Structure 1
Amino acid sequence: MKKFLQEKSKIIFLCLFIVMTCTACSNPRGTDGKTKVDEIIASEQIEVKKSLVNVTEIEDKKLSNEYKKLNDDDTITIEPTTFSEAIADGWFDGLIVWPIAQIINTIASYTDAGVGIIVTTLLIQLIVFMFTRKSQMSSQRMQEIQPEMQKIQNKYKDKTDDRSKMMMYQETQNLYKKYDIHPFGSILVMFIQLPIMMGMYYATMRAASVVYGSFFGLSFSGTPIDGFTQMQFGYIIIYVLMIVCQLLSMKMPQILKKIQDKKDHVKEKKYAEENQNSMMNTMNTTMYFSTAMIAFLYISWPIAMSFYWLVSSIIRIIQSVVLHKIMNKD
């Protein structure tokens, strides 16, 4: 019971941390999907077309009324965003969003917004990995052994006596020991990764170089809907690849485990096959639902968000493959 309470306390603490993190930031986008002009983070003075930003839902109503008088092709001058201004809006904006957005702006100034997002995402993932390598490997193993976990659960299904419960617990612990898994290593990974991922997400929306930027001539201000209605294949390709890579990134640990099992000639026992389809159907339903939600939200948002999610998914796929090879070698 004591161990159970300790495990639950960690989950409760994580939930509270998520709530605190979410309440530390405001929504930088208006109902039209465009970034609010007063939420843009710039590293230098820039001029942005009114049509690329939201000017109707900003906090300064007097300034909003002035912007409304402008034509869509008129430009709005945005001053550089200082650290003191960012930290005044909250610790999350100042300590996480602002630095990431400025990194994107700096890299984009030498190349373009797309390269800025790619390099920044990769750089942040590498930094996080340096501090959470063991925890991420444990988390990856946990995902890969889900079928084996289900086998143990199926083996003792409908057995409620104390001896069966103890046997199931021992087999589960032996499985963790076999693969050197620390069940709550994933909690640490989420604890560190969550604010960074959210920071990267908000920074991508707010970085000035992304708001008015492009990638190989493809404007990031357009939406996937524009791609489908106006047959702009660049937008369509990014959006479709984002969905495909998101699905693949979620299934990759299980795919790698199946491939490894075939190489090792692992044979399944009869009890392991029971309810296996049910488990996979549940996992697939969750995966498809979450991906569908992302696809639904992003279809009307600037393609920059789809591009960022695509880059993140590709990095997660590569990371899964690298971790699997390291674990297999060990």
Structure 2
Amino acid sequence: MKKKWLFFLLMIAALLSGCNRNAPINEHSQGVWDHYFVYPMSKLLLTLGHLFSGNYGLAIIALTLIIRFCLLPLMLRQFKTAVAMQKLRPEMQKLQEKYKGTDVETQRKLQQEMMMLYQKHGVNPMSGCLPALIQMPIFMALYYAIRRTEEIKLHSFLWVQLGHRDPYFILPVLAAVTTFISMRLSPSMSEQQMSQMAIMSYIMPVMIFMGASSVPSALSLYWVVGGCFSIIQSLILRTQLKSAKIAENGQAS
């Protein structure tokens, strides 16, 4: 979980660092990044915009939902991995007690035992990072596609111009609030992990607010819609997890 949010912090830092590549994007744009990432994203947004009669705000909402639904299988896998890791926690703690030493050899044996435990139960602890890794280039491509596509950059949606920051900071606030709620509702964390993540659950929304306040409103809109999707997803998963625990307790009794 901490690694996941670290990726988002790095992503925000990359955006805030800025980039001077403001030339309009088109099919003739050179370079791997422009030709295979930014231009396809720009083309997709323009296509969705045409489907919504030139409303690029709705196009960004639709794109966000498409991305999140495409990532849903990975998110479900991440959830199952986190639940499996919780069940393995007692065995992991026993191994940590067994190999308390800080010397290299003891730590190597601990890692070997941990890997054997993961393999035995079919758990891959690194799978939780995959959704965040995939979203990073998507988000960055979306950022530059908006900045370098005039039709989107100059389009007005609700009270904002998509290519400019929200003058009233409404979207950044909503992005921060939805991030906070989605983190607190995360069904894949134990009570111990929740206490450990308490500080991060306050720091991360602040970082999201700062990032959303410094990028085009279209990106803030992407954050808000993605946050709402995460909240609904977490509520559904929490319900399923609660039902599974009730069924498990019923079988045990």
TM range (shorter): 0.5 to 0.7
Separation in structure 2 between the aligned mates of residue 243 and residue 159 of structure 1, nearest angstrom: 42
2:181 to 248, 270, 280: 248
Larger Rg: 1
Q: Quote the residue 2:153 is aligned against.
A: 211
Partner of 1:289: 203
Q: CA deviation at 1:323?
A: 5.2
Q: Which residue type is aligned with residue 66 of structure 2?
A: L
Which blocks of at least 5 consecutive residues in structure 2 are unaligned?
102-108, 248-253
Is the Cα–Cα contact under 8 Å of residues 98 and 203 in structure 1 kept in the other structure? Answer: yes
Letter in 1 for 2:70: I
How large is the Cα RMSD of the aligned pairs?
4.2
Q: For 2:200 and 2:210, locate their aligned partners in 1 and report how far apart those are by CA, in whole Å.
A: 15
What are the equivalent positions in structure 2 for 1:1-330 lying under 5 Å apart? 27-28=18-19, 38-41=22-25, 81=26, 83-85=27-29, 88=30, 90-109=31-50, 110-129=53-72, 133=73, 135-144=74-83, 159-160=98-99, 173=117, 177=121, 181-224=123-166, 226-227=167-168, 235-236=169-170, 238-254=171-187, 276=192, 280-322=194-236
**CA shift in 2, pair 1:280/1:253, >3 Å:** closer
Instruction: Kindly state the Cα deviation for residue 242 of structure 1 after the two structures are TM-superposed.
Output: 0.7
**Higher relative contact order at CA 8 Å, sep ≥6: structure 1 or structure 2?**
2
What whole-Å deviation, never above 9, does each CA across 1:115-135 have from its counterpart, x for those lacking one?
Answer: 011011222333344xxx2x4
CA deviation after TM superposition for structure 1 residue 282, in Å: 3.5
Seen in structure 2, the aligned counterparts of structure 1 residues 184 and 221 have a Cα distance that, compared at 3 Å, is closer
2:142 maps to amino acid? M
Mapped contact 1:100–1:120 kept (Cα < 8 A) = no
Distance in 2, matches of 1:98 and 1:223, equals: 22
State the TM-score, normalizing by the size of structure 1.
0.52
Normalization by structure 2: what TM-score? 0.65
- In the TM superposition, residue 243 of structure 1 has moved relative to its aligned partner by 0.3
Kindly state the Cα deviation for residue 161 of structure 1 after the two structures are TM-superposed.
Answer: 6.2
| Residue number in structure 2 paired with 1:59 | none
Shift of the 151–197 alpha-carbon distance from structure 1 to 2, 3 Å rule, reads: farther
Structure 1 residues 217, 154: CA separation in 2 closer, same or farther (over 3 Å shift)?
same
Deviations 1:80-114 (A, max 9, x none): x2x232xx1x2122112211122212322414221
> How many aligned residue pairs are there?
221
Which deviations, in whole Å up to 9, do the C-alpha atoms of 1:272-305 show, x marking residues without a partner?
A: x8xx4xx544422234333322322332433332
- Flag the 1:216–1:322 CA change in 2: closer, same or farther, 3 A: same
Mapped partners of 2:163, 2:174: distance in 1: 18
Contact 2:172 2:208 in 1 (8 A): no
Paired residues of 1:136 and 1:185 also in contact (CA < 8 A): no
The answer to whether the 8 Å contact 1:176/1:182 transfers is no
* Equivalent position amino acid for 1:122 in 2: L
1:253 is paired with a residue whose SS is coil
Per-residue CA deviations over 1:199-257 (Å, capped at 9, x if unaligned) read 23433443333311122354335534x31xxxxxxx42x22211011122233323x76
Question: Aligned letter for 2:217?
Answer: I
Percent sequence identity is 25
Cα distance in 1 between the residues matched to 2:137 and 2:145:
12
Specify the SS of the correspondent of 2:186. Answer: helix
For 1:324 and 1:280, locate their aligned partners in 2 and report how far apart those are by CA, in whole Å: 14
Deviations 1:176-203 (A, max 9, x none): 83xx643233354455443233323433
